[in-house]
Amino acid sequence: MGLFDDVLDNVGKPYSGGKGFEYGTHEVLIMLAEAKSKDTKKAKDCAIIEVQVCGKEDNTKEATCTLWFHTEGAAKMSVTKVLGMLVHNVGEDKKDAVRELGKKLFGSIDDPIKARDVAAKLMQDKLITKEAYLVSEPSGKYTTTSYGDLWHYPAEPQSADERADREATAAAVGGEDITAEVGDNIPDFDEKKVEDL
């Protein structure tokens, strides 16, 4: 089988979508977790865990998720998700043991990078092929995406109505919704400066 067989078999036919996920929350299996660094618009070498997932029912659907450890707040959220995924994947009789393990592993860590390394090892040892939830929000005119937010419970994506309202408002003023693309570049205004406007 060649790399382009699926393309060549469908030349001239409407595009049926990629291997990503439609809008919504999906049950997925964790397939890979790697400690890495990633550059953002505002910072270089941010500590992350890159997680590869596939659909629980349809393993041809794949996505990449990022657990961030570049700040204390991000590290806390990511550790919450990792421990939550562990609790989600064990029986009732083992949930307290997982909570105690979390206290033992993360209780004395005060460095986000160290927390990333411990969380990555924990994921590699205990969560590969285990269940989690992917929140998928394709942007623009796309119907699928290969990126998403990983959770330990079926979190709700932004509602379609909220997204439609944002897009309609942008269109009404002759623009387009670029919130996701420029979110990191939106300036923070302090109250005094806003009052002076």
Place of tokens 């919504």: 24
163-169 LR contacts (CB < 8 Å, sep 24+)? 163/137
Longest dimension (CA), the chain: 65
For the stretch 108-166, pLDDT in tens is 999 999 999 999 999 999 999 999 999 999 988 888 899 999 999 998 886 666 666 66
* Cα 55 to Cα 42: distance, rounded to the nearest angstrom: 32
User: pTM of the full predicted structure?
Assistant: 0.74
Q: What is the pLDDT of residues 17-64, one digit of tens each?
A: 568 999 999 999 999 999 999 998 888 999 999 999 999 999 999 999
**Which amino acid type is present at position 96?**
D
Angle between helices 95-106 and 72-88 (to 10 degrees): 150
More reliable by pLDDT, 189 or 88: 88
